């Protein structure tokens, strides 16, 4: 489970064309990094797949099910937004319980990531008092809580200290090894190189290029992914 297909997806905000007949296939059981400059359409693409944004045209399917016809598919998805927005007056523990309650009759929950991130001492504090890093940890725990088949992680390590960042990346690699489909965005190319199998680079609402991390680095003659991507972008612009 976890195959995602996007066909001729278009989305406009006023006069701004954010997605322009975008075509994408995300392979199940792999980690795909969606990259691009600010305003390239990364977040709009992710929110369209999640059903949080309604595109003007095009189709999205998750395991053959058309997004928009039935929200049930979202029960198999974990989402970690770049900025966590939850009721500020609730404690982190109350937020976790609220999400469980909203799921109705949820499957077994998994708090092991919270334990690994040493979040227990923060759970009974109001969310508004938590540091940015601890808010990020709560968001990570919520994304993994119901053992989802598909994970969308938007800048997952932003604001985390090095130990917590390494812990979260280890968990992402573990989930990938167990066959989960992972889509992430990140501005940290060393992180992308460590976690991702495939890079999708968006520019002006379309895919500028899509390739495996190994192929990007290997064919470029560069020493790392960041320089390989810079070379690919420069070559396309010059051409």
- Cα distances from 150 to residues 27, 38, 67, in angstroms, run 11, 24, 14
Q: What is the CA radius of gyration of the chain?
A: 18
CA 169 to chain centre: 13
pLDDT band at 237 (very low <50, low <70, confident <90, very high): low
Percent of the chain having pLDDT more than 70?
A: 96
pLDDT band at 105 (very low <50, low <70, confident <90, very high): low
**pTM score of the predicted model:** 0.91
Inform me whether the pLDDT recorded for 161 exceeds 90: yes
CB 116 within 8 A of CB 144: no
Strands 4-13 vs 57-62: parallel, antiparallel or unpaired = antiparallel
Integer Cα distance of 97 and 189 in angstroms = 35
Integer Cα distance of 30 and 39 in angstroms = 25
Structure confidence at residue 39 (pLDDT):
86
Interhelix angle 213-220/225-238, rounded to 10 degrees, is: 70
Integer Cα distance of 173 and 179 in angstroms = 10
Structure confidence at residue 238 (pLDDT):
47
Percent of the chain having pLDDT more than 90?
A: 79
């Amino acid at each position: 489970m976890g195959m995602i297909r996007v066909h001729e997806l278009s989305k406009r905000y006023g006069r701004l064309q954010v997605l322009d007949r975008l075509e994408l296939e995300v392979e199940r059981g792999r980690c795909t990094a969606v990259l691009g400059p600010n305003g390239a359409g990364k977040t709009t693409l992710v929110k369209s797949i999640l059903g949080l944004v309604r595109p003007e045209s095009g189709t999205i399917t998750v395991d053959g099910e058309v997004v928009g016809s039935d929200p049930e598919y979202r029960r198999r998805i974990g989402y970690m937004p770049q900025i966590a927005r939850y009721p500020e007056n609730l404690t982190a523990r109350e937020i976790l319980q609220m999400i469980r309650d909203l799921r109705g009759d949820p499957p077994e929950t998994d708090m092991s990531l919270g334990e690994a991130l040493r979040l227990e001492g923060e759970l009974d504090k109001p969310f508004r008092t938590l540091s940015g890093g601890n808010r990020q940890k709560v968001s990570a725990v919520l994304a993994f809580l119901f053992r989802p088949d598909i994970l969308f992680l938007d800048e997952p390590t932003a604001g985390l200290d090095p130990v917590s960042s390494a812990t979260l990346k280890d968990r992402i690699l573990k989930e990938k090894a167990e066959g989960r489909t992972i889509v992430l965005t990140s501005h940290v190319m060393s992180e992308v190189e460590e976690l991702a199998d495939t890079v999708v680079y968006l520019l002006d609402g379309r895919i500028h290029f899509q390739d495996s991390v190994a192929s990007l680095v290997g064919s470029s003659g560069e020493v790392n992914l960041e320089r390989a991507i810079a070379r690919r972008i420069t070559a396309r612009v010059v051409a």
